[in-house]
Chains A and B, each alone.
Chain A
Amino acid sequence: MLTFVARRLLLAVPVLLGVVFVVMLTVELIPGDAVALMLGEHATPEAVARLRDYLGLDKPLMVRYAAYVGHLARGDLGRSIQQNRPVVDELADAWPATLELTVAALVLAAAAGVAAGVVSAVWPNSLFDAVARVGSLFGLSMPVFWTGLVLIVIFALWLPWLPVGGTGSLGHLVLPAVTLALPSVAMVARMTRSSVLEVLREDYVRTARAKGVAERLVVSKHALRNAAIPILTLLGLQAGQLMGGAVLTETVFAWPGLGRLMVKAIFARDYVLLQGAVLVFALAFVLINLAVDLAYGALDPRIARQG
Chain B
Amino acid sequence: MTRVRFAFAALVALILAGAAGLVAPAPAAAQKPGGTLTIVRPTDPVSLDPQLETTAPGAWVYFNMLEPLLTIDEKMQIRPSLASSYEVMSPTKVRFKLRPGVKFHDGTPLNAAAVKFTFERALRGTPPARWASLAGPLAGAEVVDDLTVDVTTREPYGPILRTLAMYCTGIVSPTAVQKMGEGFSRAPVGTGPFRFVEWKTNTHVILERNPDYWGDKALLDRVIFKVVPEEGARMIALQTGDADMVLLPAPAQLPQLKRDPKYVVHEVVGGRVVFAGMNAAVPPLDDVRVRTALLHAVDRKAILENILEGSAVAARGVLAPSVFGFKDMQLDRLYPFDRAKAKALLAQAGYTPGPDGVLQKGGQRLSLSWLAARGRYPKDGEVTEAIQAMFKEVGVEAKVQFLEWATVFTQFRSAGFKDHMFTLGWVTSNADADYSMYALFHSKQIPPTGWNTSRYSNPKVDALVEQARRNLNQTEREKQYGEAQDILAREMVWIPVYNTKEIVVTRAGVKGFTVHPVEYNLWLGKVWLDK
**Proximity bits, A91-130, B CB within 8 Å = 1, else 0:** 0011000000000000000000000000000000000000
A30 touches B407 (CB 8 A): yes
CA distance A33 to B448 in the complex (A): 14
B46 touches A82 (CB 8 A): yes
B429 touches A42 (CB 8 A): yes
B175 smallest CB distance to A (angstroms): 21
In the complex, what residues of A have CB within 8 A of residue B126's CB?
A: 54
A84 smallest CB distance to B (angstroms): 6
In the complex, what residues of A have CB within 8 A of residue B230's CB?
A: 145, 148-149, 165, 251-254
> Given A94-B202, A167-B203, A252-B233 in contact, is the A42-B407 Cβ separation under 8 Å?
no
In the complex, what residues of B have CB within 8 A of residue A293's CB?
A: none
CA distance A232 to B497 in the complex (A): 57
Judge whether B60 is part of the interface by a CB distance below 8 angstroms: no
Judge whether B504 is part of the interface by a CB distance below 8 angstroms: no
In the complex, what residues of B have CB within 8 A of residue A93's CB?
A: 200-202
CA distance A94 to B227 in the complex (A): 14
B130 touches A45 (CB 8 A): no
Q: Residue among B46, B204, B435 with the most chain A CB within 10 A?
A: B46
> Given A32-B410, A84-B182 in contact, is the A44-B232 Cβ separation under 8 Å?
no
> Given A145-B230, A149-B230, A160-B240 in contact, is the A50-B127 Cβ separation under 8 Å?
yes
A269 touches B236 (CB 8 A): no
In the complex, what residues of B have CB within 8 A of residue A264's CB?
A: 43
Judge whether B6 is part of the interface by a CB distance below 8 angstroms: no
Which residues 256-276 of A sit at the B interface, judged by CB distance below 8 A? 256-257, 260-261, 264, 267, 269
In the complex, what residues of B have CB within 8 A of residue A40's CB?
A: 54-55, 130
B406 touches A37 (CB 8 A): yes
> Given A51-B127, A54-B126 in contact, is the A32-B236 Cβ separation under 8 Å?
no
A30 smallest CB distance to B (angstroms): 7
In the complex, what residues of B have CB within 8 A of residue A38's CB?
A: 130
B406 touches A269 (CB 8 A): yes
Q: Residue among B230, B232, B429, B435 with the most chain A CB within 10 A?
A: B230
A31 touches B410 (CB 8 A): yes
CA distance A211 to B410 in the complex (A): 75
B202 touches A164 (CB 8 A): no
B236 touches A153 (CB 8 A): yes
B370 smallest CB distance to A (angstroms): 17
In the complex, what residues of A have CB within 8 A of residue B411's CB?
A: 31
Judge whether A156 is part of the interface by a CB distance below 8 angstroms: yes
B203 touches A156 (CB 8 A): no
Judge whether B237 is part of the interface by a CB distance below 8 angstroms: yes
CA distance A38 to B128 in the complex (A): 13
CA distance A261 to B185 in the complex (A): 19
A43 smallest CB distance to B (angstroms): 5
Judge whether A157 is part of the interface by a CB distance below 8 angstroms: yes
> Given A40-B55, A50-B127, A160-B240 in contact, is the A45-B410 Cβ separation under 8 Å?
no
B128 touches A83 (CB 8 A): no
Which residues 158-210 of A sit at the B interface, judged by CB distance below 8 A? 160, 163-167
Judge whether A152 is part of the interface by a CB distance below 8 angstroms: yes
**Proximity bits, B128-153, A CB within 8 Å = 1, else 0:** 10101110000000000000000000
**Proximity bits, B403-423, A CB within 8 Å = 1, else 0:** 011110111010000000000
A180 smallest CB distance to B (angstroms): 15
Judge whether B52 is part of the interface by a CB distance below 8 angstroms: yes
Which residues 27-74 of A sit at the B interface, judged by CB distance below 8 A? 30-33, 36-45, 47, 50-51, 54-55
Judge whether B226 is part of the interface by a CB distance below 8 angstroms: yes
A176 smallest CB distance to B (angstroms): 11
B96 smallest CB distance to A (angstroms): 24
B242 touches A163 (CB 8 A): yes
Q: Which of A31, A160, A256, A267 contacts B227 (CB 8 A)?
A: A256
In the complex, what residues of A have CB within 8 A of residue B405's CB?
A: 267
CA distance A41 to B436 in the complex (A): 11
**Proximity bits, B448-482, A CB within 8 Å = 1, else 0:** 11010000000000000000000000000000000
CA distance A161 to B506 in the complex (A): 23
In the complex, what residues of A have CB within 8 A of residue B404's CB?
A: 32
Q: Which of B52, B233, B426, B439 contacts A254 (CB 8 A)?
A: B233
B55 touches A165 (CB 8 A): no
> Given A47-B133, A93-B202, A254-B227 in contact, is the A156-B128 Cβ separation under 8 Å?
no
> Given A50-B128, A164-B237, A253-B233 in contact, is the A31-B407 Cβ separation under 8 Å?
yes
CA distance A42 to B127 in the complex (A): 17
CA distance A152 to B233 in the complex (A): 8
In the complex, what residues of A have CB within 8 A of residue B439's CB?
A: 42
Which residues 193-218 of B sit at the A interface, judged by CB distance below 8 A? 200-204
- In the complex, the chain A residue whose C-beta lies closest to that of B243 is A164
Judge whether B492 is part of the interface by a CB distance below 8 angstroms: no
CA distance A160 to B240 in the complex (A): 8
In the complex, what residues of A have CB within 8 A of residue B46's CB?
A: 82-83
Q: Residue among A37, A38, A145, A166 with the most chain B CB within 10 A?
A: A166
A307 smallest CB distance to B (angstroms): 41
A157 smallest CB distance to B (angstroms): 5
In the complex, what residues of A have CB within 8 A of residue B182's CB?
A: 84-85
- In the complex, the chain B residue whose C-beta lies closest to that of A93 is B201
Judge whether B229 is part of the interface by a CB distance below 8 angstroms: yes
A45 touches B448 (CB 8 A): yes
In the complex, what residues of B have CB within 8 A of residue A157's CB?
A: 236, 239-240
CA distance A93 to B407 in the complex (A): 29
A247 smallest CB distance to B (angstroms): 10
Q: Residue among B54, B55, B227, B229 with the most chain A CB within 10 A?
A: B229
CA distance A30 to B232 in the complex (A): 31
CA distance A160 to B46 in the complex (A): 33
Would you list the 10 A-B pairs with minimal beta carbon distance, nearest first? A32-B406, A256-B202, A93-B201, A31-B407, A254-B228, A54-B127, A47-B133, A251-B229, A43-B133, A164-B237
Instruction: List 20 other contacts, CB 8 Å, given A37-B409, A157-B240, A165-B233.
Output: A31-B407, A32-B407, A32-B410, A33-B406, A36-B409, A41-B451, A44-B133, A45-B448, A54-B127, A83-B47, A84-B47, A94-B201, A164-B233, A164-B236, A165-B228, A165-B230, A253-B233, A254-B233, A261-B202, A267-B406
Residues in chain A within 8 A of chain B (CB atoms): 30-33, 36-45, 47, 50-51, 54-55, 82-85, 90, 93-94, 145, 148-149, 152-153, 156-157, 160, 163-167, 251-254, 256-257, 260-261, 264, 267, 269
Residues in chain B within 8 A of chain A (CB atoms): 43, 46-47, 52, 54-55, 126-128, 130, 132-134, 182, 185-186, 200-204, 226-230, 232-233, 236-237, 239-240, 242, 404-407, 409-411, 413, 426, 429, 435, 439, 448-449, 451
